[in-house]
Structure formats: C-alpha cells, structure tokens
Amino acid sequence: MTTIRPLVAGNWKMHGLSVSLAELLALKDRLAAPVPGTDIMVCPPATLLAQARYGLRGSDIKLGAQDCHPLAEGAYTGDISAEMLADAGASAVIVGHSERRTLHGETDALVNAKARATHRAGLTAIICVGETEEERRGGATLEVVGNQLRGSVPEDAQASNTVIAYEPVWAIGTGLTPTQDDVAEAHAFIRNELGRLIGEAEAARIRILYGGSVKPANATELLAVPHVNGALVGGASLKASDFYAILLAYRRR
Ligand code: 13P
C-alpha cells in the first residue's frame, strides 16, 4: 500500500482577532522540533492570513483559507477569490464545509466550482463531505457521501491538489465521534469512489482526513483507522496546547 503523508489542518472557523495570532506563534514555538513526515496547516479567518504569514516566517506550518468565490475577480461585494487568498499567503482552501452547505445553501455544483477555482489559483482544495445525523440513522451515509463526492470533486482532481475531509455533520462541535468501524467504512468507501472518479492511481495517493470532534484524547485512535490520512480539527485547533497535543499522536505514529 502507498504511504501517504498525513495532514493535520486546523479550521478556526469564524474565530480569531489579531490577538489570537499569539496561539499561532505558540504553536510555531512548540513545533521548533517539527513532527516528522506530517504536514501541519492552520486555516484562520481570511482577515488574519497576511499577518499569520508574517508571523509564521521560518516555520513549516502552512496556511489555508475556509472558503472562496468560484471566479478570480469581479463585482461580487464581500467575496474573496482563491487568487486573493493565495496572494495573502494561503496554500489551500477548505470548500464545501457542512456549515457552508447548510447555512449558505451551497450545492455540490458550487462546491465543485470552488474546488476548480482553488486549483486554478495553484492551491489545494480541501473538499468536505459528510452525512447528517438523520441520514446516518436512515442508513443513507454512504449514499449521501457518494453523491457529494460525485458532485463536488472535479474530474481532474489529483492527489497533489486535492484533499478530502470526511466530516459527519453530527460529530462537528458535539464531542461525539463515530466508532472506528464507522470511520473505516466511510474512508474505505471514499477511496473506492475516488478511484472511479479520478482513477485508481490518484485515488490511492489522495489524503482523506477525518473531521468532527477530534481532540487530544481521541486523535491516536482515529489516526489508527485504515485510510485516515490526517485530521481536520475545529475547536481544538484554537488553542496551541490542544492542537499540539493532537499532533503528538502523529509523532508517536
Ligand atoms: P470540531 O473539531 O469543533 O468538531 O469541528 C470540526 C470541523 O468542522 C472542522 O472543519
């Protein structure tokens, strides 16, 4: 089996003022001894990207953004393009997070266009998929995730510019996590579906992250699940000490 370099990304969501950059600098200090073989990323609000880039000079911590507009520029008041995010220091963009799908009505087609925009700007798209609690109870998890993948992942996606994040909606911010078996089933299914969509070779190398209530206490067991190639961390990424404690699971790997 191919060895896949894991990625641990922190999604700050709509949290963070200039003063919060202190957490990023604390993380940089702790990572003076880097975690071997693991990519580390923080996705702060777009307003902090440029300052964060400045603060992280000399560190291996990468920066990502949380959303983008599909177009490069235009009369779209309030929107930010992938090119602008690249210019501000991002190397990746989270697209199709369930909070955007639910609260902003984003469709698979729009998420697909945003992923393509991210690629156009030379960035990595972190495409999120995941079922709601109702869908899981109704036994529709794999059908829902399959539909999201088919709709959201561009045909020409490659392991070098695309990451998939499996985030069960009911596990986000709730402290609940699926069993290891449930995560294993979803991740194996995602890799298999990707094989159909973008070809076996790319699918075998693409990173599939788990997201939803990842904490220092469960990071090791989640990482141990087959086809889990890292984590997308929400709440626990806001504090350098917690995020670093999650990264320790990767050092022990
Ligand atoms: P929590 O880790 O806070 O559950 O959030 C997960 C998430 O939505 C990351 O994108």
CATH of the domain at 235: 3.20.20.70
Residue 107 in domain: yes
Ligand 1 neighbour 234 (Cβ under 6 A): yes
Residue 74 in domain: yes
Residue 3 in domain: no
Distances (CA, A) of 133 to 105, 140, 154, 172: 18, 10, 27, 11
Q: How many domains does the chain have?
A: 1
Residue 21 in domain: no
What is the structure's pLDDT at 252?
Answer: 74
Residue 26 in domain: no
Residue 117 in domain: yes
Q: Which domain holds residue 49?
A: 38-245
Measured in Å, residue 213 CA sits from the centre of ligand 1 at 6
Q: Among the options 23, 167, 187, 227, which is catalytic?
A: 167
What is the structure's pLDDT at 253?
Answer: 76
Q: Among the options 23, 83, 97, 187, which is catalytic?
A: 97
Residue 8 in domain: no
Question: Atom 5 in ligand 1: which residue has the minimum CA distance?
Answer: 234
Burial of 69 (0-12, 13-18, 19+ CB in 10 A): buried
Judge whether 167 counts as a catalytic residue: yes
Selection from 208, 218, 101, 201 nearest residue 151 by Cα = 101
Residue 2 in domain: no
Ligand 1 neighbour 212 (Cβ under 6 A): yes
What is the structure's pLDDT at 36?
Answer: 86
Which phi and psi angles does 55 have, rounded to 5°? -65, -30
The series of mean pLDDT values per 10 residues for the chain, 253 residues long, is: 88 98 96 89 98 96 98 98 98 98 98 98 98 98 98 97 98 97 98 98 98 97 97 98 94 77
Judge whether 104 counts as a catalytic residue: no
* Kind of pairing between the strands at 7-11 and 230-233: parallel
Selection from 224, 177, 232, 237 nearest residue 208 by Cα = 232
What is the structure's pLDDT at 2?
Answer: 62
Q: How many CA atoms lie within 13 A of 6 on its CB side?
A: 29
pTM beyond 0.75: yes
Ligand 1 atom nearest to 94, measured from its CA: 10
